[in-house]
Chains A and B, each alone.
Chain A
Amino acid sequence: SQQGEEDPQALSIQEGENATMNCSYKTSINNLQWYRQNSGRGLVHLILIRSNEREKHSGRLRVTLDTSKKSSSLLITASRAADTASYFCAPGRYGGSQGNLIFGKGTKLSVKP
């Protein structure tokens, strides 16, 4: 399975703190994506990191990828209450339909004001 598994399942922090979520996967990938889902809404794409990249930044987001360990991490710096959401990783495989993503159960982040 190309499913990513997020860890921890739930994370509760105070506003201003950093939040780190991890993702592990089992097979070779072409890229890995992170998505956010606010309660009752659809998923929103956050960032894509390619297999030949080790780190990528987007605003307060920092994603790392270690293909040797088959793992990725998402760091949200200086978190805000609006960051409260579930976060999903999605490993993208080589070949086939590049968008045929399998999502894990996600990390539920709660940021308390």
Chain B
Amino acid sequence: NAGVTQTPKFQVLKTGQSMTLQCAQDMNHNSMYWYRQDPGMGLRLIYYSASEGTTDKGEVPNGYNVSRLNKREFSLRLESAAPSQTSVYFCASGSGELFFGEGSRLTVL
């Protein structure tokens, strides 16, 4: 069972570059989420999607955009990456109990 799959697992960007983190789930969940995790900060919610076609801001949405492409896929885009966006990004899906991907480690130089 794949569960929640994130790509890429690692990425290094230069300041100002753009990139998209991909997330897909095969559990038929309506809700999907993007979190970032920084040392000493715990997990912070960036955006979430309660159902296909809807997205809402979380705690720290600035500098990010999301797309709920279909029920399976929820992507996170950095239009102009900044060093402050260096972090580990986690995608999750579920309602109640959440299922997490293994993370995408992003470094912005």
Enumerate chain A interface residues (CB-CB to B < 8 A): 31, 33, 35, 40-45, 48, 88, 90, 92, 97-106
Pick the residue among A31, A100, A105 that contacts B33 (CB under 8 A). A100
A-chain residues with CB within 8 Å of residue B25 when the two chains form the complex? none
For residue A100, give the distance in angstroms from its CB to the closest CB of chain B.
6
From B11-19, B43-51, B61-69, B77-85, the one touching the partner chain is: B43-51
| A105→B100 contact, CB < 8 A | no
Given A43-B98, A102-B59, output 10 extra A-B contacts at Cβ < 8 Å: A41-B103, A42-B4, A42-B100, A45-B98, A97-B50, A99-B92, A99-B95, A101-B45, A101-B98, A103-B43
> How many residues on the B side are at the interface (Cβ–Cβ under 8 A)?
27
Q: How many A-B residue pairs have CB under 8 A?
A: 66
In residues 78-109 of chain B, which contact A (Cβ within 8 Å)? Answer: 90, 92, 94-103
Enumerate chain B interface residues (CB-CB to A < 8 A): 4, 31, 33, 35, 40-45, 48, 50, 56, 58-59, 90, 92, 94-103
